[in-house]
Amino acid sequence: MKVEKISELTTNRLSVYLRCLNELSAKGIKTVSSDDLAKRFHLNSAQIRKDLAYFGEFGVRGVGYYVDNLRQDLTKILGLDKPHNVGIIGAGRMGTALADYYEYSQTNFSVVALFDTDKAKVGQKVGNVKIHDIKKFEELVKKEEIDVAVIAVPAQYAQDILEMVVKVGIKAIMNFAPIPLKAEENIKIRTVDLTISLESLSYFLAQPTGENGKIMKPIAKNRRIKKK
């Protein structure tokens, strides 16, 4: 059996391509070449061809990609044609913000329950999503067919929560606690680090010019323009 390793960076890029293709489709564009796709969305055309080649031949020589076919293929590859039910653990600021965010995002993921230990929160609703006692986690996972858990608890509780989540059979976890979590090989944990996005702004602000996405090497001293 052939085993190929597809990195998270690749699947992230596939998600980005899919967004771009959705935009093109909305504009009525039928075909696109990798070069054109790269130019429009500031991507790397060689990377696009390489990424898509993982999954078989999508391109047609002289034409490029058929936008709608490629959209459908990527949607399937990314598993975005199948519905998933999400439980968010931690009904604090982050957990409730995420419940809100995902409720208004059009994805194949539905947030079906929030969980907390705080008795004052239990029974309340965030949008249409009810906050349950964490003790009812296993019961709700079965009843609501939850297959994805989002961990939004303080860092010090995150590993314990992860173990509880894995114990009831959930294999896909998104972690918003700002620490890396450990689990067995067959469990997928995606830790979302919101500081990385800030750091990319830091890079931009550190550049001598404000030009978007470009850095300029500093001008040699003798080329400075003298003030009169």
Which 35-94 residues touch its own copies, going by CB under 8 A?
Answer: 42, 44, 76-80, 82, 84, 86, 92-94
Among residues 173, 132, 169, the alpha carbon closest in space to that of 149 is found at 173
- CB under 8 A: which stretch of 26-34, 133-141, 157-165, 170-178 binds its own copies? 170-178
- By C-beta, is 120 or 205 nearer to its own copies? 205
Q: Quick one: which of 53, 60, 63, 219 contacts its own copies (CB under 8 A)?
A: 219
Tokens found for residue 31 = 């075909």
Q: Write down the H helix ranges in 44-167.
A: 45-53, 67-77, 93-104, 137-143, 155-167
Q: Which two tokens stand for residue 111?
A: 């947030």
Residue 107: both structure tokens together: 């994805």
| CA dist list (Å): 219 to 208, 222, 223 | 10, 8, 7
Q: Count the site residues for its own copies by CB under 8 A.
A: 82
Using CB under 8 A as the binding rule, the residues of this chain from 196 to 215 that contact its own copies are 196-207, 209-215
Site string for its own copies, 3-42 (x = CB under 8 A): xxxxxxx-xxxxxx--x----------------------x
> At closest approach, how far in Å is the CB of 104 from its own copies?
7
In the complex, minimum distance from the CB of residue 31 to its own copies, in angstroms, rounded to a whole number: 23
Q: Supply the DSSP symbol for 17.
A: H
Q: Cβ 60 to its own copies, closest distance in Å?
A: 23
In terms of CB distance, is 72 or 108 closer to its own copies?
108
Residue owning tokens 């500093």: 218
Asked if 226 is part of the footprint of its own copies (rule: CB under 8 A), the reply reads no
SS3 130: strand
CA distance 184 to 187: 6
* Minimum gap (Å) between residue 61 Cβ and its own copies: 25
Contacts 24+ apart (CB under 8 A), 195-201: none
Q: By CB under 8 A, is residue 217 in contact with its own copies?
A: yes
Nearer to its own copies, 62 or 179 (CB): 179
